[in-house]
């Protein structure tokens, strides 16, 4: 529910820029004959922008494993997540550029969606709060592994929820394909991370 409210507010803010995006896409298609990035709606734009922000956070968290973890399974998983998320960022960025210039609408904190019908003030940011990120950066060893896996589980769950909103209401074929892939890959990784975290025990968060 938290994700749904935040992203739906983000979609409302994005709608105002949609006419500009469509005009830009029309020009691109006319000049190059490439129209595989069309059609596009506000849900697609919100999905791409929000997912890029969330993926950047996952890349940053995963990169810490090389110096903070001593667990080969955690290091390997983090490396895979960092690489695939970096690739997805490039793919999403390419879509946004193909769709044309857009404003950067932002969403309110997920815990405070604001009054109904209000335009969100905001910022497109990841799902993990700075206090948790600070704890992760300051930790090492098993404590780091526990924190990282817990935060990545939260991150993946948020990504899946965001992807499902795109699947429900997005219009762009390529964006929906990315959403399908995120749901499938993240669901598998969630199962792997939960098993790994269980083998390490739990950490108070």
Q: Model confidence over 140-175: pLDDT tens digits? A: 999 999 999 999 999 999 999 999 999 999 999 999
Give the model's pLDDT for residue 109.
36
Q: Which of 99, 118, 100, 120 is nearest to 36 (CA)?
A: 99
The angle at the Cα of 90, spanning 7 to 133, to the nearest 5 degrees, equals: 60
In which band, very low, low, confident or very high, does the pLDDT at 201 lie, cut at 50, 70 and 90? confident
Give the model's pLDDT for residue 127.
79
Residue boundaries of the structural domains of the chain: 2-200
Does the pLDDT of residue 12 top 60, yes or no? no
| pLDDT single digits (tens) 84-125 | 999 999 999 999 999 986 544 444 333 333 333 333 333 456
| 2-200: CATH architecture | Up-down Bundle (1.20)
């Amino acid at each position: 529910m938290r994700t749904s409210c935040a992203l739906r507010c983000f979609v409302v803010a994005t709608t105002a820029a949609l006419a500009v995006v469509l005009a830009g896409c029309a020009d691109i298609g006319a000049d190059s004959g490439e129209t595989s990035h069309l059609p596009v709606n506000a849900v697609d734009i919100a999905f791409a922008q929000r997912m890029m922000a969330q993926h950047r956070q996952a890349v940053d968290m995963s990169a810490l494993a090389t110096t903070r973890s001593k667990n080969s399974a955690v290091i390997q998983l983090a490396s895979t997540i960092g690489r695939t998320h970096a690739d997805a960022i490039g793919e999403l960025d390419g879509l946004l550029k193909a769709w044309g210039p857009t404003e950067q609408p932002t969403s309110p904190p997920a815990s405070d969606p604001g009054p109904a019908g209000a335009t969100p003030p905001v910022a497109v940011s990841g799902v993990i709060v700075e206090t948790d990120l600070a704890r992760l950066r300051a930790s090492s060893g098993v404590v780091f592994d526990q924190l990282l896996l817990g935060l990545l589980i939260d991150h993946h769950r948020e990504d899946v929820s965001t992807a499902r909103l795109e699947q429900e209401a997005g219009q762009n074929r390529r964006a929906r394909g990315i959403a399908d892939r995120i749901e499938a890959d993240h669901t598998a990784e969630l199962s792997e991370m939960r098993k790994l975290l269980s083998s390490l025990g739990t950490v108070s968060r």
